Amino acid sequence: MAGKTVSLFIQCLVDTMFPQVGEAMVAVFDRLGVPLAYPAGQTCCGQPAWNSGYRREAAAAARHFIEVFEGAEVIVCPSGSCVHMVRHHYPELFEDDPAMAAKARAVAANTFEFTQYLVDVLGVTDTESRFSGSVTYHDSCHLSRGLGIAMQPRTLLGNVRGLKLIEMRDSDTCCGFGGTFSVNYPEISTAMVDEKIENILATGADGVVGCDISCLMNIEGRLTRRGEKVKVLHIAEILAGLRGGDQ
């Protein structure tokens, strides 16, 4: 499968703490024969500043992002909330600057979340992946509510050989991450992730899968602190077959 060259937009948390997720994405695209590029100047999309109200700083990050990515044929990112930032908030940030706003809109329209790109753009619903075990799926907020992406990951997971998907209760309820919220209001954040964890555990699944590493980092951080054995996986890792349930 040739076609457009995908410029990888690797979320800062994936880059620094979960590089295996980026590698998994590369593996999936390589298997599909999708040409890849990695614009080396990329840093952070600006979401932390935006969420905290620091719009000038967010705009600076956005400007940098647009400069780095504006020549890209298509931009794909393994994070729903970062794509939501680019798609929905970049154009808002430059409302008073028509030239930048036009560039922001162009980049926004050209930026896709990983599973969205696979299913909706490439039409790939089966990545011919294997996984041995059962997983449950967490709908992250900006992915499901903000971008309307809920069926794409489920479709992909449904076609993974050996994988059993068990839906959890309230899969689309927020995990309590919320960016700086998680450090400013740790008690509330922890209470929320505890409820998420109860719902995960109730499925009896071996692992929990999602498309946003920030939510997954929150869930995993609490799971390991509580001493739970449930594995936490980004969907790219499953599709790449890099980590398995009991492999």
Partner 1 sequence: MKTSSPSTYREAAVAGIDSAQLQKSLQGLQNRFGKGAMELWAGMADQEMRDRVKESRMKTFEHLDIVLAELAKNVRARGGQVHFAVTAQDAVNYTLAVAKKNEVKRVVKGKSMTSMEVDIDPALEQEGIEVVETDLGEYIIQLAGDRPSHIIAPCIHLNRNQIGRLFTDKLGIDFTEDPPTLTMAARKALREKLLTADMGLTGCNLACAETGMISLVSNEGNIRMATTMPRVVVALMGMERVVATMAEHRETLQLLTRGAALQKLSTYVSFLGGPASKDDPDGPREFHLVIIDNGRSRILADPEFREVLACIRCGACLNICPVYGKIGGHAYNSPYCGPIGAVVTPLLDGINKHADLCKGETLCGACKDICPVKNDLPRMLSALRHKLAYGSDRWNTRQHNPAEARAFRVWRLLVTRPFLYRTLIGLGRIVQRPFIGKEGTIRKMAGIAAGWTAGRDLPPVARRTFHQLWKEKYAGNRPTAPTIETPEEK
Residues of span 104-143 touching partner 1 by CB under 8 A: 141-142
Instruction: Enumerate residues 72-101 that contact partner 1 by CB under 8 A.
Output: 72
Minimum separation from the CB atom of position 86 to partner 1 (A): 14
Nearer to partner 1, 111 or 163 (CB): 111
Q: Decide if residue 208 touches partner 1 (CB under 8 A).
A: no
**Minimum CB distance to partner 1 smaller for 1 or for 36:** 36
Residues 225-244 that bind partner 1 (CB under 8 A): 225
Q: What tokens does 247 get?
A: 């492999």
Please list every residue from 23 through 42 that binds partner 1, using CB under 8 A. Answer: 23, 26, 35-42
Residue 227 makes CB contacts below 8 A (sequence gap 6+) with none
Determine the interface stretch with partner 1 among 115-123, 129-137, 177-185, 203-211 (rule: CB under 8 A).
177-185
Q: Which of 2, 98, 187, 246 is the binder for partner 1 (CB under 8 A)? A: 187
Nearer to partner 1, 22 or 245 (CB): 22
Considering beta carbons, is residue 160 or 203 the nearer one to partner 1? Answer: 203
Strand partners, 112: 76
Which span (126-134, 151-159, 188-196, 200-208) binds partner 1, by CB under 8 A? 188-196
Tell me how far, at minimum, the Cβ of 51 lies from partner 1, in Å.
7
Minimum distance from residue 31 beta carbon to partner 1 (Å)? 14
- Shortest distance, position 172 Cβ to partner 1, whole Å: 8
If we measure between CA atoms, which residue out of 159, 106, 109, 155 comes closest to residue 129? 159
178 versus 210: smaller Cβ distance to partner 1: 178
Secondary structure of the chain in HEC code, one letter for each residue? CCCCCEEECCCHHHHHCCHHHHHHHHHHHHHHCCCEECCCCCCCCCHHHHHCCCHHHHHHHHHHHHHHHCCCCEEEECCHHHHHHHHHHHHHHCCCCHHHHHHHHHHHHCEEEHHHHHHHHCCCCCCCCEEEEEEEECCCHHHHHHCCCCHHHHHHHHCCEEEEECCCCCCCCCCCCCCCHHHHCHHHHHHHHHHHHHHHHHHCCCEEEECCHHHHHHHHHHHHHCCCCCEEEEHHHHHHCCCCCCC
Q: Of 43, 151, 202, 247, which lies in the binding site for partner 1, with binding defined by CB under 8 A?
A: 43
- Per CB under 8 A, does 202 bind partner 1? no
